[in-house]
Amino acid sequence: MSTVAAVVLFAGVLAYAVLGGADYGAGFWDLTAGGAERGRRPRHLVDESLAPVWEANHVWLIFCLVMLWTAFPPAFAAIMTTLYIPLGLAALGIVARGSGFAFRKVFVRTEQQRVAGAAFAASSVLAPFFLGTVAGGIASGRVPTAGLGDPISSWLNPTSLLGGVLAVLVCAFVAAVFLAAEARRRGEDDLETWFRRRAQVTAVVTGVVALTGIAILRADAPRLFDELLTRGLVLVVGSAACGLAALALLRRAAPRQVQGLAVLAVAAVVAGWGVAQYPYLLGTHVSIGDAAAPTATLWALTAVAAAAVLIVVPSMGLLFVLAQRGRLESS
């Protein structure tokens, strides 16, 4: 039963990595789009494609938190008492990001937009970075069973920094692919090229960082390294293949296929982490079963997850279909 709950939790992590990640990455491109005049059109596209969906995507984070603290309460407490610095910063970043985004849409004067936009875009980079360091701290076993681990070295360490940088890069990559596809759907060829180039550059940088990361993991988190290259190998290779295929097909294939490949690339690498760490929740010292709540709670959570599949998934599908068909945008 605890494994079912862990799978549900991890499905939430996957959904947030892909959907929330694409939204964070859009903020990355917003941040780096240049001055007010030069960056106007990319920012406009970011605004339009994010606005209807970001809140729904954001709820996946809440879903993960709720699942973690209900299904695996001691692990949640251990993570929170150890990694409170990056988690606190991520929480504040999320506030700055959401508010900045909502405010910017109302502003018309450039200087006001600049302040709100900077809050949105800068925190779109910082929040995934901090969440990535949290993942690195958990994966490399720096969260002790009873919590209260080192507040600094638990997230300022090689694996965490790798996790943070990779999170930002992966978000940027998937967002660039999404936005290129969106620009194509709207027939804005120059914007499509703008984002496609950025997708290509990010893909190369992500690949280089990931390769370096293998060396880092080998030195810093040997068990994770071993499992990633044995049990997780298929997923890691699959992720790389999907990322390359998405890039190659960006110009030719239907936008939806390209998006699908980018999603698979991200999902596979996150799933690789999950598979490599299984059956442990924290590093290699707290297993899923150790931290699990009483069975009745796990059953109730499974029922909630089933209801989510029945209610939330179709609703979200409706939202995405409407957004894709241009029913939810300002023309």
Partner 1 sequence: MTGAVRGRTEGVSLALAAAGVGRLAAGSSQVLPAREQMAFTLGFHIILVPFGVAFTFMMLIANYRGLRRHDQHALRLARRWSQVSGVLFAVGAVSGTVLSFELGLLWPRLMGPFGAAYGLPFAVEGLFFFVEAIFVAIYIYGWDRMRPWSHFWTGVPVVLSGVGGTASVVAANGWMNQPAGITVRDGRVVGVQPLRVFFNDAFWYEALHMLLAAYMVAGFVTAGVYAAGMLRGRRDRLHRLGLLIPLTVAAVTTPVQFFVGDVAAREVFQLEPAKFAAIEALPTTGDHVPEVLGGVLVDGEVRYGIDIPSGASLLSGYSPDTRILGLDAIPADVRPADHLVTTVHLAFDVMVGIGTALLALSFWFAVLWWRRREAPENPWFLRATAVSGVLAVLALESGWVVTEVGRQPWTVVGLLLTRDAAAPGGNLWLFFGATVALYAAVGFGTLFVLRLMRRRWQEAERGGDDAEVDDEVPYGPSRARELDRSPGGGA
Interface residues for partner 1 in 21-40 (CB under 8 A)?
30-31, 33, 35-37, 39-40
CB neighbour burial string for 105-138, b if at least 16 within 10 angstroms, e if fewer: eeeeeeeebeebbebbbbbbbbbbbbbbbbbbbb
Range list of H helices, 72-109: 73-82, 84-106
Least distance from partner 1 to the Cβ atom of residue 51, Å: 7
Closest CA to 90 of 55, 112, 107, 65: 65
Instruction: Compare residues 97 and 196 and give the one whose CB is closer to partner 1.
Output: 97
| Contact map string, positions 64 to 83, toward partner 1, x by CB under 8 A | -xxx-xxx-xx-xxxxxx--
The answer to whether the beta carbons of residues 22 and 50 sit under 8 Å apart is no
The token pair that represents 179 in the structure block: 């936005």
Sites for partner 1 among residues 180-209 (CB under 8 A): none
Q: Strand, coil or helix: what is 232?
A: coil
Q: Which of residues 280-319 bind partner 1 (CB under 8 A)?
A: 293-294, 296-297, 299-301, 304, 307-308, 311-312, 315-316, 318-319
Nearer to partner 1 (CB atom), residue 176 or residue 264: 176
Interaction with partner 1 in 117-146: which residues (CB under 8 A)? 117-118, 120-121
Residue among 114, 185, 223, 231 that touches partner 1 (CB under 8 A): 114
Residues 234-273 vs partner 1: string with x where CB under 8 A? Answer: ----------------------------------------
| Shortest spacing between CB 177 and partner 1, in angstroms | 22
Q: What is the DSSP string of 106-165?
A: H--SHHHHHHHHHHHHHHHHHHHHHHHHHHHHHHTT-S-TTS---TTTTTSSHHHHHHHH
CB of 13 to partner 1, least distance (A): 14
Separation between Cα atoms, residue 197 and residue 200, nearest integer Å? 5
Strand ranges (DSSP E) for the chain? Answer: 280-282, 286-287
Q: Does 4 bind partner 1 (CB under 8 A)?
A: no
Q: Which stretch binds partner 1 (CB under 8 A): 56-64, 159-167, 195-203, 260-268?
A: 56-64
Q: Cβ closer to partner 1: 233 or 322?
A: 322
